[in-house]
Structure 1
């Protein structure tokens, strides 16, 4: 049967793994310092909430805002998913997890909403990061 091996995931667990792998590949763009690859994960309709600034709307605006994080040789932060959920329909997913500074200190948590835009092709539509409280130093 031709194409059977390339069949779309059929279980929620397979879809969750697909989104987890996509989030990890997205995060790897920061370590690799590859802004073009970062941009390839963005939906045309992406909305990112980055710090105290207004939300960036659209792939171009998000890519422009995030370019500054890719300009220097060292990554200013890293992130990884520790939770992923996918709708039963298999069309939307949420991922979340910690973000770390270059020394490995937890500095924030992120949440991302992913949409299946083509078979096996998840793109990020919403992203928000929240600083983690340093409760030892009020």
Structure 2
């Protein structure tokens, strides 16, 4: 979709970006709040999560695979987006940000793809973490 077509469509990409950012933050809050049901509610039926060498496919598999992260009294990690971008048609978005351990140390960077499944309803379809970069760790790049 061209920039002119986006403008003609009346899409407010900045507003959609804010929706995705808020959805990602609520998704992360489900971990902090130990609320597995809230986590699961933000998964698309067709979600795919990469977990090391394993690939969890479908809402039920992802929910079951992540359930152990919700079992303890304290969250084993946290995350927050530092960048969100929405496609020009307003249907897909990517969020990325840092993952931190309970002491606040950066341990990874997440990359998530969100799909707007109904007006204002974003659900995660892909999620994959990666090791933090030197920039993520605040160190000089060699």
* Matched residue SS, 1:110: strand
| CA distances 1:77-132 after superposition (whole Å, capped 9, x unpaired) | 00000000001100000000000000000000000000000110000000001122
> CA shift at 1:50, angstroms?
1.1
Aligned positions, number:
127
Structure with more of its chain in helix, by fraction: 2
Structure 2, unaligned runs of 5 or more? 1-9
Residue 30, structure 1, aligned to residue 31, structure 2: yes
Q: Describe how 1:108-123 pairs up with structure 2 within 5 A.
A: 108-123=108-123
Q: TM-score, normalised by structure 2?
A: 0.85
Structure 1, unaligned runs of 5 or more? 1-8
Equivalent residue number for residue 78 of structure 1: 78
Equivalent residue number for residue 47 of structure 1: 48
CA RMSD of aligned residues (A): 1.7
Q: TM-score, normalised by structure 1?
A: 0.88
Structure 1 outlier segments of 4+, above 3 Å: 133-136
CA–CA distance in 1 between the matches of 2:123 and 2:133? 30
